[in-house]
Amino acid sequence: MSDLEIIILAAGKGTRMGGEKPKVLVELAGRPMLSYILDTVAQVHDKKPIIVVGFQADKVKAAMGPGQRYVFQANQLGTGHAVREALAEVSPSAKYIIVLNGDQPLVGPTTISSLYKAHTAQTSSGQSSTHQPLTISTIRVPDFTDWRMPFYDFGRIIRDEKGLIKKIVEKSEATEQEKAVTEVNPAYYCFDAEWLRDRVKNIDAVNSKGEFYITSLIGMAQAEGAILNSIEIPEHHGLGVNTPEQLTVALKFVEIK
């Protein structure tokens, strides 16, 4: 994995958590959420990830220590914007980039390594990476009840009649029919680095929040004729923590990554 860079998006405030600390510093079983992800990355990759910080960046840096690689996102304008800011720190020699999220502390080492292996396998199999520039992770749930309720807020994976990924729709943009889809997007991606550098600057903010979504890259890839590669990951690996209730859910899984 020497040709890989990993970006962790950790700039958000976490308004729904209450309090004034950055969301990634909310404690899960006595530790900041972000620390779990850093430990997981260290299990599968020798190179430290790039951490995109924003809200109370100094506190995040103090908690994680000076030995990390940080990029400051002055204005929190969405995930696509955060990735664009992080690219300044990515090594020019990197061939692949994985994007993770700082409020999803239960991502396991198997998910990271599987995402990398699935993407590099299909790009090195003789097929042009121009046509398969990214690999997407997905989660299938039977429903959105009980501990799976947090997944209701995730984007939906919309597939065509052949089972190929047609689009990813953010919950805030989804129709009622699309909200009923139970294959969701935990927002872990592996990109061809060169393709990402060229395309991320073209993301627009034509949506209800006026933000630059990383999922816009899906549409760009498909407009170029891409057949999107995907892997399915364990449900709990994608659990996010945006509310105190979701923190309680995550506590049930903290020892089984």
Task: List, for residues 197-254, the tens digit of each pLDDT value.
Answer: 999 998 887 666 778 888 889 889 988 888 889 999 999 999 999 899 999 999 999 8
Cα–Cα distance measured from residue 98 to residue 224, given in angstroms and rounded to the nearest whole number: 21
Per-residue tokens: 60: 């995040």
Give tens-digit pLDDT for 65-116.
Answer: 999 999 999 988 889 999 999 999 999 999 999 999 999 999 999 999 999 9
Reduced to 3 states (helix: H, G, I; strand: E, B; else coil), residue 60 is helix
Of 42, 242, 28, nearest to 8 (Cα)?
42
State the pTM of this model. Answer: 0.92
